[in-house]
Amino acid sequence: MRTPTKPKHEDKLDSILTMIKNMSVDQKDIKTDEQKIREEQKLFNEQVMKLQKENENFKKENVVIREENRKIKEELQSIRISMDSLEKERKKNNIVITGLDTDTKEPQQLIATTKSFIRDNLEIEVEIKKALELKEKVWLIELGNEECKNKMMQN
């Protein structure tokens, strides 16, 4: 004996029921995926907020550092101007003498030899603070004051 066959419309209904079950499973999967995505999105949003706060803090620090940098540059410029002025002041009483022949390198003896050379050749007395040999027969002489330098330059 043969099993009775199902009418076609029952096959269609079974097929539709199977499709509905599959859709229900798919819908649950979609909801689960959606929930996971929402949780990830929440984490990402929290990270973005944290990074934005850090960025704001860095911006504030940057403003402070820039201000400190500006002040340091101004102070450095002021120091440079002061150093230039001091250097110029220090050099204004210097003269260079060429042709002075001496056989000593000892500073006090060089000063005495230079004073003697100036007294003998220019017939003036000057105060000498330092005498330094730059190269053979070339001397840098630091005079005591501007008046001594002016006396020498007039002769």
Neighbours of 138 (CB within 10 A): 13
Is 115:128 a contact under the CB 8 Å cutoff?
A: yes
CA distance 129 to 104: 17
pLDDT per residue, tens digit, the chain (155 aa), is 556 666 677 888 888 889 989 998 889 999 999 999 999 999 999 999 999 999 999 999 999 999 999 999 999 999 999 999 998 888 888 988 888 777 777 878 888 888 888 888 888 888 888 888 888 888 888 888 888 888 878 87
